[in-house]
A and B are shown apart, each in its own frame.
Chain A
Amino acid sequence: MHDFPPSVLTRCLLICLCGGLGTFLMMPTRRQFAKPAVVFALGTGLVAFAALNLIGLGAGPAPIVSRMFFYVFGIASVLGGTLMITARDPVHSALWFAVVVLATSGLFMMAGAGFLAAGTVIVYAGAIIVTFLFVIMLAQSGGKADYDRLARQPAQASLTGFILIWSLLIVILSDPNYHGGLEGSVEPVVVNSRLIPASDLVTVRKLMPEHPGAIVLGKTLTPQLSTPDHLGKGLPAGVPAPQVAGLGSALYTTHLISSEVVGAILFVALAGAVVIATPRKSNSAA
């Protein structure tokens, strides 16, 4: 655990309070479908303020192009998330959800987790959200229903959501591998995933921001190239192709039992879906 400077803690609290209140104000409620424009604008302002502060909390990757993409994806995911919750038309909500998924995949890609990015897009954007769209469109044939347009318990939902965000912020900021938020004087280190053999870890010396001048030894991953660094050139010789092969070998050696169990559960679910979906001939004939 780091000792937080009080300013960081205050800032986290401010972000969560403003964000929560703003989101609450922006959500459609039971009493009035169309909120007064002032309330809506106030909510938007608060959310924007919180989002800007959140961006200021982290320092993106160093190369300018990577940093640009990082901010574009980050802002798109935060904005998309807010709009997904506050949109009145469920189809728009589903589309904003797709934006969130795509932006998040972009962030995964930048962190070097390409397989995760592609998987997320294929599963969520390509299949699940399309299914949502199907259901929403077919269920809405008689015009838009009230229950589709209003939020059930906006106050409770905002409170819970932003308490979760607050705890996540604190956990992320107190992770010793995370350096972006605190002063930003240390070279950011690429840490993507935990599914990595110990042989890939190297010992590095790093500066700790809160103890100027002190050098601490730490374990970290072998520095990998971030995607934009080799965009123009291709991988230099000797750098092993990461990701898919590593993930596969980890899944089928260390985590063999878990993946087999997951596979079995999915197979059972598939069989169940087929059984449920098949029309029963005996009933219809009778």
Chain B
Amino acid sequence: MLEIIGLIIKISIVVGVTQGAVAYLILVERKIAAFSQDRIGPNRVGPLGLLQPIVDGVKMFLKEDVTPNYVNKPIFILAPFLSIVTAMIGFAVVPFGPVGPNGPGLFDGPIQFQIAPGIDIGLLYIFAVGSLAVYGVILAGYSSNNKYSFLGGLRSSAQIISYEIPMGLSVLGIVLLASSLDLNTIIQWQDKNAWGIFVQPLGFFIFLICAFAETNRLPFDLPESEQELVGGFHTEYSSMKFGMFFLGEYLHVITVSFLVVILYLGGWDPPFVSLGDSGWLMAILKVGTLITKVLAMIVFVMWIRWTLPRFRYDRLMELAWKRMIPLAIGNTVVTALILQLIRR
């Protein structure tokens, strides 16, 4: 029974923290945007504009929720929920800190900083959940019964499906090296040997590019390219339903940043220092390292937005199918070959 209560507490913490983080990420994004454009950004509500997210949230709830009468209603309502749920459930296997038998003890046993530790197929699970993210977008586009939404939805699904392939292929290298699909084992391997970015530079870059594409952010935000498609798949959505798509997008950014950090940037392993295995202090340091890296990664994602222009649609598809997939396959083959030669 205690386990189940612990599990519920962990889930609540993860859900609460990520949802709260999203609100502040929007503020961070606006500040970075302002900085890039030589503006000041939101600074009216609270000191440094720090209360802005709360006001934004209230505004989102209080706006009129317009549902056009030509939409396919059940699917129209379902789509934003799917968008959030598919972005959220990936967190079940993401480690937020050290996981293992030596963690700091509480009640009967070590605390595991992961909702579902010991899942052998962690990475596969994340890809399975990630492949569901397309539903929110495609259903929103379809049910809106509007050409712009539909085109946005189609583009986005094509993009997400295409970029899933190089993404899946690119992580095979690090999986081969760590010889596990479990995210903790991959971090531990990096802790003992070297960070993924050093042993798998090509895999890292392919994964990073695909991660941007999967989150639908610039330079890959074709589904909602304002100039051509009004708002893309969420043109017809207003109020909190639109807010849920927004939330889903930012949750995706967080998940993807976690993944990049865990797979290629050493997870909770700080650079130059080696942390011990047991005790509260080490656990807190590890969690802190991981969160710092993830925050840095998120800022990087937002910074890129103001650095690169949007791709043209055919270029986008070419990049995935003609450049990245062959590169990712080559990366896998070379990694396997070298591993086999070393092992002999």
Contact = CB atoms under 8 A, between A and B. Distances in A.
Interface of A: 65, 91-92, 95, 98, 105, 114-115, 117-119, 121-122, 125-127, 130, 133-134, 137, 227, 230-235, 237, 241-244
A29 B118 CA distance: 49
B157 A134 contact: yes
A235 B124 CA distance: 18
12 contacts: A91-B72, A114-B119, A114-B121, A122-B128, A126-B164, A130-B135, A232-B112, A233-B117, A233-B118, A241-B182, A244-B121, A244-B124
A192 to B, nearest CB: 13
Interface residues of B, number: 39
A110 B35 CA distance: 50
Contacts of A230: 118
A118 B124 contact: yes
Contacts of A241: 120, 180, 182
B131 A125 contact: yes
Contacts, number: 95
Contacts of B72: 91
Which of A137, A234, A237 has the most C-beta atoms of chain B within 10 angstroms of its own C-beta?
A234
A137 B142 contact: yes
Nearest to A233: B109
Give chain A's interface secondary structure class: helix
B161 interface: yes
Q: At the interface, is chain B mostly helix, strand, loop or mixed? A: helix
B320 interface: no
A91 B129 CA distance: 21
Interface string B75-116: 100000000000000000000000111000000010010001
Interface in B175-225: 180-182
Q: Which 7 A-B pairs have the closest CB atoms?
A: A126-B131, A232-B3, A121-B128, A118-B124, A234-B117, A234-B118, A235-B118
Contact of B181 (A231, A232, A233, A244): A244
B7 interface: yes
Contacts of A133: 138-139, 142
A127 B161 contact: yes
A65 B2 CA distance: 13
A105 B119 CA distance: 15
A227, A242, A244: residue with the most chain B Cβ atoms closer than 10 Å:
A244
B161 A118 contact: no
Nearest to B182: A241
